[in-house]
Structure 1
Amino acid sequence: MATLVSRLTGFLRTVVLVATIGLSLVNSSYTVANTLPVSVYQLLLGGVLSSVVVPVLVRAAREDGDGGDGFARLLLSIGAVGLAAATTLATVAAPVLVPLYLSTGDRSDPELAVAFAYLLLPQIFGYGMGALLGAMLNTRGVFGPAAWAPVLNNVVVLAALAVYWLLPPAGAGDAGGIGTMQLLVLGLGTTAGVVAQAAVLVVALRRCAFRWRWRWTWDRRLSAFAGSAAWVLAYVLAGQVGLAVTNRVASAADEGAIAVYANAWLLLQVPYGVLGVSLLTVLMPRMSAAAAAGRLDRVVDDLAIGTRLCTITLLPVAVGFTAFGPALGVALFSWGRSGVEAATVLGETVAVSAFGLLPLAVVMLQLRVFYALDDARTPTLIMLVMTAFRVPAALLAPQVLSAERVVLGLAAVNAAAFGVGAVVGWAWLRVRLGPLHTRATLSVIVRTGVSAALALPAVLAVDRLLGAASTAVTAGRTLVIAAVVGTAVYLTLIWLLRVPFPRYRGSGPR
């Protein structure tokens, strides 16, 4: 429930943001600046914290007499100092960081993006501490607070957007089409949301009888941690290269392209966030404990269960997004200061990239398997393969597509990169772990795909009967009816085709 509410409020936040500032140059500048704290945090510490710290903490809990509390205090001490230093340096370097993700020219506004960046880069500390605290809660079998914390973040930002609507509109002399007070409310409000998200986890950890005291000593596990961290750093760097190239190509093509691309990607991640992330959060401690105990058969079982659950739940969503992407864009993003034309392009972007939804979930699951096996090297190599595909394809997009269609090509390239990663990852795990229940998994994928494809004509018939979805209201009506009909037909078909629904055994480490 927490994850569902979190994703729904996050989705509402995205919709309200677009209605507030549109899909224009202001949104693109804000999006680039708001990407920076996530990018810097991931590059410096985030990938390590989210992917390596859980297995290390699980092992500390098993090996140490204090249940791993001492090691956790050490990680918090080092993490807090490192994050504070990184936040300070990144904020000072905002004018240098922005051009890495934004092209110059009349279709972009680097000065506005830098102004936003000064207000948003302090989020790095909040993201880092939130990841550390959330990992410590998860290794203690406490998942609720970390799942509910993003809801508070979204509520804070929604409150800031409400204040934004009350402010007078930007004047003719305001640079970038946004006033100083509007800039401050949007920037500081977004940062306040991240800070609140981390602060609530401090309270939750105290309720678990954990007390944070500064600790400065050396632990032998830090050496192994550092070794894994180097590979995770390379993984994140490769991903950031792909993102930087994509953003620069998009900003050179159209002033609203970055906003369209980013919001389409966020919309595509809503079902993954509700279903896939919840699954990964629970599976990671289980797989780490099983790997630490040498039970690779259980790791394989969890991989198969996770893949099949993602297939049954996400594949029909991907088919629906492909069929109704434009209507989805109009229904959700044509309100306020946005418009039907820009919202339609956003929906088309979702439609052409929806085929990457299932590969995204599979890749994320596969990477967690490698991290559970204390292998941070292989995920980096997989990311390098994906980036080697993504970068040349992104650079080719402006050469073969018109300027207004470049964003569609970039979205399709990103989705295809996850398809490449899923195939490479599966082959690599087959070599590493042996048989992966591939035949049974493929059977689920094929039967689920057939069910979704057979349900599609019924859904398209609804679209034809209801007529063109030219407004947010008519598009929303079409989507609701089509979703009800499509879900009913799909569930009937997977029952008739006897698609086996995997049974998930428990939620904690075994």
Structure 2
Amino acid sequence: MTSPRLPVASQGGVGRASAILASGTLVSRLLGFLKVIVFAHILGQIGNVPDAFTVANQLPNTVYTIVAGGVLTAVLVPQIVRASLHDDGGTAYINKLVTLALSILAITTLAATLLAPLITRFIGLGFSPAQLSLAIGFAYWCLPQIFFYGLYTVLGEVLNARKSFGPFTWVPVINNVISIGGLLLFGLLFGIDTDGQRPPADFTPGMTALLAGSATLGVVLQAVVLYFFWRRIGLRYRPDFAFRGVGLGAAGKMASWTFGMLLLTTVAGIVETQVVTLASGEGASSTVMSTAWLIFMLPHSIITVSVATAYFTRMSEHASRDDTDKLRTDASSAIRGTTLLIVLASAVIMVCAYPFATVFGEAGFEQVQAIGNVIIAFLLGLVAFCVLFVVQRTFYALGDTRTPFFFTLFQVVLVITGVLGCALLPPEWIAFGIALTVTVSGILQAILATWLLRKRLGGIDGRRILRSLVKYFVAVIVPVAAGLAVLIALGGTRNGGFAVSGTAPAIVTMIVIGTVMSGLYFGLLLLMRSTELHGFLAPLKTRLGR
């Protein structure tokens, strides 16, 4: 029987898909924050043990990114959308592509696990012998996550290509719940160390297994559960090793450029980790960088990724039909729609950076400042990062992974040069310097990428995008001033102030500041008659009217 062809997504379809993605991502990210908060209260944010675990638990992501990572995202969706036009609806192609991906992931996982000591020693250059030994123990438990991260991505991207968006964003909830449970059990059995003073030598094999094993179990369940959603939409996976004859050559060509791009970014990430571990035990290091990046990614994941992922399938369909006008419209709409909220989100979180840092451990004010400053340094580049995300996926929809390689190379050269320079800074400023370097290079990369896309499409509705961005930035000036006034009044910039005196006061402060800033921002945009805001509010007005 011939499977029905995928229809072109409607504007309402994109809106519904974005809402599903955003809701799942929001719940997952909130649980992710809870996990980091629990981690900080049990193991600390600044110390040898938390840094050892953070480096080890990031290794699977590092290796996975090098081997597959974004290659799957960049290649799977466009290729599956095109394969859906085949007589079997792309079933044969999906089976072959998934078999190939999982085979590569299995070999990579085995090799990486066997090489755990070598990989960990290479990443953790600044670790002491005892800290390195503990990190290697964590790595043996964590590195099997590589295969299951890949399985999650493969199964999820196929579901996205078939317009089943919900499972991919909701199943990480399982991962976070399992990880939080493991941390709480660890604290119950072995005690808590909020200041991060526990020596690495005090860790027993059982402590290592519980902490790292629970993290891996969450990733395993996150991936396996997606298979049941495959069956619900009528997909049946059967291994197929006959890779010839279904157009995998085109996918391989795309993947080669994306692989190169990811290799570049991973090299930059490794250099960042190597330099920031020089500050481990003395100042903000790997764990603080990881926490700050998590905060940075929260609005990006909820807003940009949710909108752009829904648009990505639609853009791939338009690109497959050579409909450049609609593709250009999609890119413009995605950029203007996401930056409307991203400008506000980045401003609110920057103003709330110190209270935000207080939530992660209730440490001394010096630690709060260290974490908060890194958060601010990252967030200065959030708007550019989100624009880059949409531009990059527009190139992917066009089947062009070559151009993203070159503008990524440009950014990586800047990052590596700047990060190596940060090694000369005092330990307490290394993490801040690295975050600021990433921000500046990311802004320049976004400008270059947008210019290249404009040349490729013969325009990207640039005046309209620029006009919208100017409105957003003008509208956020007064809210930022008001937010800072509230922060200062509540003692958020001084030791012992209410806003940084504990988790509950910090949360209250953030709610007050967020409410004040949001009300002023949206009010000013209404006065400025922002068409994007009216478009954003229209569905809400309709629902309230009903």
TM-score in terms of structure 2 length: 0.88
Report Cα offsets for 1:297-343 as digits up to 9, x if no partner. Answer: 1111111111112211011221222223112211x1124xx555323
Aligned to 2:61: 38
Aligned to 1:474: 505
Aligned to 1:262: 290
Unaligned runs of 5+ in 1: none
Q: CA deviation at 1:501?
A: 0.9
**2: CA distance, partners of 1:426 / 1:107:** 46
Does 2:131 correspond to 1:109?
yes
AA of the residue aligned to 2:318: A
Match of 1:312 among 326, 340, 349: 340
Q: CA deviation at 1:500?
A: 2.0
Does 2:267 correspond to 1:241?
yes
Aligned to 2:230: 205
Written as runs of structure 1 = structure 2, the 5 A alignment for 1:416-435 is 416-435=440-459
Does 2:151 correspond to 1:118?
no
Question: Does the 8 Å CA contact 2:352/2:513 hold for their aligned counterparts?
Answer: no
Aligned to 2:15: none
Does 2:465 correspond to 1:441?
yes
Question: Does the 8 Å CA contact 1:327/1:344 hold for their aligned counterparts?
Answer: no
TM-score in terms of structure 1 length: 0.94
Q: CA deviation at 1:169?
A: 4.0
Aligned to 1:497: 528
Report Cα offsets for 1:382-420 as digits up to 9, x if no partner. Answer: 111110111111111233x32201111111111122111
**1: CA distance, partners of 2:34 / 2:320:** 40
Unaligned runs of 5+ in 2: 1-22, 492-496, 540-546
**1: CA distance, partners of 2:238 / 2:82:** 21
Question: Does the 8 Å CA contact 1:235/1:380 hold for their aligned counterparts?
Answer: yes
Q: Which moved more, 1:248-257 or 1:53-62?
A: 248-257
Question: Does the 8 Å CA contact 1:334/1:340 hold for their aligned counterparts?
Answer: no
Aligned to 2:388: 363
Question: Does the 8 Å CA contact 2:138/2:212 hold for their aligned counterparts?
Answer: yes
Question: Does the 8 Å CA contact 2:74/2:393 hold for their aligned counterparts?
Answer: yes
Question: Does the 8 Å CA contact 1:20/1:165 hold for their aligned counterparts?
Answer: yes
* SS in structure 2 at match of 1:103: coil
Aligned to 2:209: 184
CA RMSD of aligned residues (A): 2.1
**1: CA distance, partners of 2:365 / 2:190:** 25
**1: CA distance, partners of 2:309 / 2:42:** 33
Q: CA deviation at 1:352?
A: 2.2
Written as runs of structure 1 = structure 2, the 5 A alignment for 1:158-177 is 158-169=180-191, 175-177=200-202
Aligned to 1:22: 44
Question: Does the 8 Å CA contact 2:48/2:200 hold for their aligned counterparts?
Answer: no
AA of the residue aligned to 1:74: K
AA of the residue aligned to 1:470: V
Q: CA deviation at 1:170?
A: 9.2
Does 2:220 correspond to 1:195?
yes
Q: Which moved more, 1:468-477 or 1:374-383?
A: 468-477
Report the identity percentage.
Answer: 31
Match of 1:13 among 35, 45, 65: 35
Aligned to 2:20: none
Q: CA deviation at 1:252?
A: 1.1
**2: CA distance, partners of 1:407 / 1:161:** 26
**2: CA distance, partners of 1:148 / 1:50:** 18
Q: CA deviation at 1:282?
A: 0.4
Aligned to 1:289: 317
Equivalent pairs, count: 501
**1: CA distance, partners of 2:198 / 2:461:** 64
Question: Does the 8 Å CA contact 1:25/1:108 hold for their aligned counterparts?
Answer: no
Question: Does the 8 Å CA contact 2:130/2:201 hold for their aligned counterparts?
Answer: no
**2: CA distance, partners of 1:47 / 1:286:** 19
Q: CA deviation at 1:477?
A: 2.3
**2: CA distance, partners of 1:310 / 1:450:** 17
